[in-house]
Amino acid sequence: MRRLRIGILDLVTKSPNPSLYGRIMNANLASIMPQVIGVWCEQEGHDVTLVCYTGLENLLEELPKDLDVLFVGAFTQSALLAYAVSNLFRRTGTVTVLGGPHARCYPEDARKYFDYVLGFTDRSVVAEMLRDCQPHRPYGAHLSAASQPLELPTLRERWKFTEAVLTKAPTIKIVPMIGSLGCPYSCAFCIDSTVEYQPLGFESLRDDLAFLLTKMKNPIVGWHDPNFGVRFDDYMGAVEAAVPPGRMRHIAESSLSLLAEPHLKRLKANGFRAILPGIESWFDLGNKSKTRLTGMDKVRQVADHVNMILRYIPYIQTNFVLGLDGDRGPEPFELTKTFIDLAPGAFPAYSLLSAFGRAAPLNLEYQRTGRVLPFPFHFLNNNHAMNVRPKNYGWPEFYDGLVDVTRHSFSLRAIAKRIPATATAIPKWMNVVRAMSSEGWGRIRYHTTIRKLLDTDASVRAYMDGETTVLPEFYVNRIRQELGSMYQHLPEGAMYHDPNAYLATVGDQADPVSIGGRGKRKAS
C-alpha cells in the first residue's frame, strides 16, 4: 500500500475569533481521539499532519493542500465548518473522513458531505478505511467497530501531537488523558449511558503519568473520562504510585455520588484542583447524584455538598440542564438562584435541553412526539439554541426564566461573592474571566436577544413553535458572519437536516455491510 499524506483536523470551536476565555482555553479543549488516529495512521506507515483549530488560526493555511486523506473530528456545533472544509478538500481530490461526536450523532446527514463517517473507532476501522481509501459519493461509507476500542495509544505514543497542540495554549496548559470509556450510570440523556464502562488499564496509566513528569514541571492533567473515579481506588493507586506529592495537578468530571468526604481527602492529597459534577435539575435526573430529594430539599443538600467539596478542591463547576420535562413554572429557576446564593464558590454552567441525533435513547422519545426542532447544527452547543420544545413552558416564559437565572449567576454581586468563596488565585481569576466572557455576560446578551425576537420577529417565534422549517434571517445571518470566509464553501443544503433521522432509521439497524468482513458497519 502506498504511503498516504494524511491530515487530521481537530475542531474545538466552530468559528474564528474566539472569546477572551476561548483564546486562553480553547487549545486545552483538544480531543484525544484525533491524536490517537494520528498514532494509528503513522503505525500503518503514513505521513500525518495534525492541526488543532482553536479559532485563531487560518485553517486553510495550516492544512497542507496536497492531502490524500483528511480526517476531521467535530462536535455538532462545528459540523457546518467541518462540512465546508470537507467540501473544499474533496474538490481537489482529497478523500475526507468525519469522526467524533457529530459523526456518532448524525451519521445520516454527515454521509452527504464526507467519504467516510466513523462511529466507534478502533485501529482496525482506521486501517480498513485507509486500505479502501476512495471517494464514496454521493453518500459516504459509515464504518463502526462493534464497541469502543479496548485500548488506546499511550500518552508517550501520542506525545508529539499533544505537545504541539499545547504550544497553542498561551498560559494554562492542560494535558488530555483518559483512563476509562463509557459509564455505569444510565442517565437517559447522555451519550455515554449506552457505552459499557471500561477501564483502559491502570498499569499503562501509571507509566503515562510517570512519563509526563519527565516532560513538564508541575503539569495539569485534564481527565477526559466521562465519569472519573468509578474505579476510585484503582485510579488513586495509579496516581500515588507514579506521582510524588505536589508534582501534578488534575481536573476531572465526576458525579456527586462519587465525591464523598473520604474520596475528597484523597483527591486533595493527590493534587485534584478542579472538579465538574452534574446537578442537572432539582426535579429530574436524580439517579446519578443518588438523592431522592427534590426541590428546596435537594438545593440545600447539594449546596452543603458543594461547599464541603470546596474545602478540599479549589475549583468546582456545577452543571445544570434547563428545560427538562420535570420542570415547570418559575420554581426551577428560583431554586437555582437560591443555590447560587447558598454555594457562591461554585461556577454554574447551564445547558439548554438538546437532542443530539442518536446521542441518547431519550432522543427517540422527543422525536416520536414531534418536539425536535431543525435548528442548524451550528447552534447546537447547548446554548445558542434549544432544539427540543419544552414540555411545560411556552418559549417567552422559558426565556424569561433563563435570562433571569443567567443574570443572577453572573451579576457583579455574584462575581464578587465568588471571589472570597474560592480559595486560591487561579480559580478566582478563572471564575471572573469566565463570568465576564462569552460564558457569562455573552450568554446574558444572547439569551436577551432571543427573548426580544420572540416578541418582535414572527419568523423566529413560528420556527421555535414548529410551525415552519424556514430558517429565520437572524440565524442565517449569524451563520454567515460566524463562518466568515468558510461560508462560501458550505455545501448546498448543509444548513438543513432531518431532525428525526434517528427515529426514521431505527428499523434498519441490523444491516451492516463490511468492507473488511469483521463486524464493521457500513451503511452505504
Q: What residues line the site for ligand SF4 (CB under 6 A)?
A: 183, 185, 187, 190, 192-193, 226-227, 255, 278, 288
- In the complex, least distance from residue 120 CB atom to ligand SF4, rounded to whole angstroms: 17
- In the complex, least distance from residue 185 CB atom to ligand SF4, rounded to whole angstroms: 4
Pairing of β 198-199 and β 180-181: antiparallel
- In the complex, least distance from residue 230 CB atom to ligand SF4, rounded to whole angstroms: 9
**CA neighbor of 272 nearest in space, from 292, 243, 301, 300:** 243
Range 150-170 burial, b when 16+ CB lie within 10 A, else e: eebbbbebbbebbebbbebbe
- In the complex, least distance from residue 252 CB atom to ligand SF4, rounded to whole angstroms: 12
**In the complex with ligand SF4, which residue's Cβ is closer, 34 or 278?**
278
Residue 73: phi and psi, rounded to 5, are: -105, 125
**C-alpha span between 244 and 259 (Å, rounded):** 23
- Quick count: other Cβ atoms within 10 Å of Cβ 414? 19
DSSP-derived secondary structure for 265-318 = HHHHHTTEEEE--EEE-SSS--TTTT----HHHHHHHHHHHHHHHHTT-SEEEE
**In the complex with ligand SF4, which residue's Cβ is closer, 258 or 464?**
258
**In the complex with ligand SF4, which residue's Cβ is closer, 266 or 288?**
288
- In the complex, least distance from residue 362 CB atom to ligand SF4, rounded to whole angstroms: 11
**In the complex with ligand SF4, which residue's Cβ is closer, 193 or 500?**
193
- In the complex, least distance from residue 197 CB atom to ligand SF4, rounded to whole angstroms: 9
**In the complex with ligand SF4, which residue's Cβ is closer, 189 or 475?**
189
Identify the three-state secondary structure at position 522: coil
**In the complex with ligand SF4, which residue's Cβ is closer, 37 or 388?**
388
**In the complex with ligand SF4, which residue's Cβ is closer, 33 or 39?**
33
**In the complex with ligand SF4, which residue's Cβ is closer, 31 or 255?**
255
**In the complex with ligand SF4, which residue's Cβ is closer, 153 or 179?**
179
**In the complex with ligand SF4, which residue's Cβ is closer, 276 or 423?**
276
| C-beta separation of 194 from 362 below 8 A | no
- In the complex, least distance from residue 288 CB atom to ligand SF4, rounded to whole angstroms: 4
- Quick count: other Cβ atoms within 10 Å of Cβ 79? 29
| The 3-state secondary structure of 197-208, one letter per residue | CEECCHHHHHHH
**In the complex with ligand SF4, which residue's Cβ is closer, 94 or 255?**
255
- In the complex, least distance from residue 192 CB atom to ligand SF4, rounded to whole angstroms: 4
**In the complex with ligand SF4, which residue's Cβ is closer, 14 or 358?**
358
Identify the three-state secondary structure at position 49: strand
Radius of gyration of the chain (CA): 23
The answer for residues whose C-beta is within 8 angstroms of residue 470's C-beta and 6 or more apart is 459, 463
* Chain centroid, CA 377 distance in Å: 14
Helix, strand counts (H, E) of the chain = 21, 15
Phi-psi region for residue 379, left (φ > 0), alpha (ψ -120 to 50) or beta? Answer: alpha
Residues facing 118 on adjacent strands: 143
Identify the three-state secondary structure at position 101: helix
- In the complex, least distance from residue 281 CB atom to ligand SF4, rounded to whole angstroms: 12
**CA neighbor of 401 nearest in space, from 387, 412, 386:** 386
- In the complex, least distance from residue 447 CB atom to ligand SF4, rounded to whole angstroms: 24
- In the complex, least distance from residue 175 CB atom to ligand SF4, rounded to whole angstroms: 21
- In the complex, least distance from residue 184 CB atom to ligand SF4, rounded to whole angstroms: 7
Q: Which amino acid is at 362?
A: L
**CA neighbor of 479 nearest in space, from 377, 399, 382:** 377
**In the complex with ligand SF4, which residue's Cβ is closer, 186 or 424?**
186
**C-alpha span between 18 and 22 (Å, rounded):** 5
- In the complex, least distance from residue 225 CB atom to ligand SF4, rounded to whole angstroms: 9
Q: Which amino acid is at 133?
A: C
Q: Quick one: which H or E segment has residue 339?
A: helix 331-342
**C-alpha span between 240 and 428 (Å, rounded):** 28
